[in-house]
Amino acid sequence: MRRTTFPKTGWEVGVIGLGCWGIGGQWGPVDEATAVATVRTALDSGMNFLDTADAYGATPGRSEELVGKALKGRRGDAIVATKVGNYARRAGFPLSYASPLHVTLCCDASLGRLKTDYIDLYQCHIGDLADPTVFLEAFEDLRGQGKIRACGISTVRRDVLERFNRDGHCISCQLDYSLVSRKAEAELLPWCLENRIATILRGPLAMGILSGKYGRETKFEDLLRRSWNEGDGRRAYLEKLEAAERLKFLVRPDRSLAVAALQFALSHPGATVVIPGAKSPEQVRQNTAAGEGALTPEEMEKARAETARFDA
Ligand SMILES: NC(=O)c1ccc[n+]([C@@H]2O[C@H](COP(=O)([O-])OP(=O)(O)OC[C@H]3O[C@@H](n4cnc5c(N)ncnc54)[C@H](OP(=O)(O)O)[C@@H]3O)[C@@H](O)[C@H]2O)c1
């Protein structure tokens, strides 16, 4: 797999990483053996960047626990990124994060679940953070203690990222980018490129739609996608589904639509690593293929024309 480097830290990563939210059970059930095998297959395939969060899992923290189990004896093989800021929010009990102590306590809990004594990349998970002071102070303290190596933020807003990077210590921005979510092209991706902020691209498969495997008749049962069954969620789903249909010209005998979608995301000059949320070793193996090769200029032009309405 092609490799790339994080501009500020020099970390070398495979261009395809693994989003570990799905293995925690909120995107439909995944048994423990499959979850652990998914992460290990990723490491064996050259995906050395793993992204999780303390909030992820059918119970919060389950994704981190599974990553910790998978990393047993292999900690040095991975750059482990996790997040703080949304613990128990989905359950209706958000924490206040009113003091740096809340953040450092969450970090200790993540270290315990991940069964490691350091986190490579600790990301703030609050994308609309107004004042980053609490998080920046906590991250500084944690870096000093050696519990984290670097920090970043997950946000789609440039103003939030700029504030978070006010002392220049932010090394990465995690943001939504895909053929059907291209808003970041206007401002955020160019800003990251100019400011040497690594980008971690989530949503590259539009939560599975760009794999091309869903249809009008698909009914979604899992917590995250069941809103696609009716109302506004259904309308947005159908719009993306139709785009996925139009993009099927990208499929070739040696390239699935999912691989083409991942290669599209990686084609942006500001792209560093893309993190599809695979839930099985088989999905990992398929996604790995996107780490070699690229769409042709003609394919890119046509794909961009077919998805122009998603750039705002
Ligand atoms: N705010 C944040 O920071 C934030 C928000 C969202 C996501 N993330 C991160 O981004 C990661 C990815 O999540 P996402 O929203 O970006 O989802 P995504 O990667 O766009 O889509 C994930 C879904 O795609 C399907 N899939 C994956 N590989 C496939 C393959 N080879 N063939 C067919 N289907 C495949 C699976 O669907 P099925 O379930 O149907 O198998 C999977 O659940 C998460 O795990 C998380 O780490 C972060």
Structural domains of the chain sorted by starting position, each given as residue range(s) with its CATH number in brackets: 3-209+258-293 (3.20.20.100)
Residue-level pLDDT at 90: 85
Q: How many Cβ atoms sit within 10 Å of the Cβ of residue 26?
A: 22
**Which whole number is the average pLDDT over 83-97?**
91
Q: What is the best residue among 41, 122, 259, 279 to mutate for testing ligand 1's pocket, by most ligand atoms within 8 Å of CB?
A: 279
Ligand 1 centroid, distance to 252 Cα (angstroms): 22
The H or E element spanning position 198 is strand 198-202
Q: What is the best residue among 64, 211, 218 to mutate for testing ligand 1's pocket, by most ligand atoms within 8 Å of CB?
A: 211
Residue-level pLDDT at 126: 97
Strand order in 119-124's β-sheet?
18-19, 49-51, 79-84, 119-124, 148-154, 170-176, 198-202, 273-274
Closest CA to 172 of 3, 10, 291: 10
On the question of pLDDT at 312 being above 80, the answer is: no
On the question of pLDDT at 223 being above 90, the answer is: no
Ligand 1 contact via 66 beta carbon (within 6 Å):
no
pTM more than 0.75: yes
Ligand 1 centroid, distance to 181 Cα (angstroms): 14
